[in-house]
Amino acid sequence: MTDPELIAKQLAFIETMVADLRRLARPDSIETDLREERFVAHTLQMAAQAALDAASHIVSDERLGEPQTYRELFALLQAAGWLPADLSARMQAMAGFRNLVVHGYAKVDPRILQDIVLHRLDDLLEYVETIRQRLAS
C-alpha cells in the first residue's frame, strides 16, 4: 500500500519549487543571465524529480508494473487510472526535460525554460492535486 505521508512530502516539495519559481524566476532574463537560466533549470529539475519519485513509489507500492524509463512511470499511472491521458503526456514530457538537465544530453534551449515557467508550472500543480485526490479516495 502506498505511504500517504511519504507521497505528501514529495507533493509539498513540488508545490514549494513551483512557488519559488513563481516568486523568484525572471523569465525575460533566462536567455541573457546564466545564473537565472541555471536557477530555473535546476529548480524545475528538482520539481520533476519529486514528481518522478512520487510516481515511482506509487508504481512500486501498488505493483503497477516494471517501468524501463522515467516516462513509463507516468504511463503506468495512467494505465492504472491514477492520471488522465493528457496529464500523463505532459508529465512524460517533464520527465524528458529532467533527463536533458540531469544528463546534459544537450544544452536546454532557454526558450523552453521560459515556456515552462510561463505556461507549464500548472502541469506540476495539476499532478499534485490529481495524486492527492486519488490518495484521499
Provide the whole-model pTM.
0.93
Rounded CA gap, 93 and 106, in Å? 16
Is residue 62 a contact partner of residue 2, using CB atoms and an 8 Å limit? Answer: yes
pLDDT tens per residue across all 137 residues of the chain: 788 899 999 999 999 999 999 999 999 999 999 999 999 999 999 999 999 999 999 999 999 999 999 999 999 999 999 999 999 999 999 998 898 888 776 678 899 999 999 999 999 999 999 999 999 98
- Domain parsing of the chain, residue ranges: 4-136
Residue whose C-alpha cell is 515552462? 116
| Fold of domain 4-136 | Four Helix Bundle (Hemerythrin (Met), subunit A) (1.20.120)
From the CB of residue 56, how many other CB atoms can be counted at a distance below 10 Å?
15
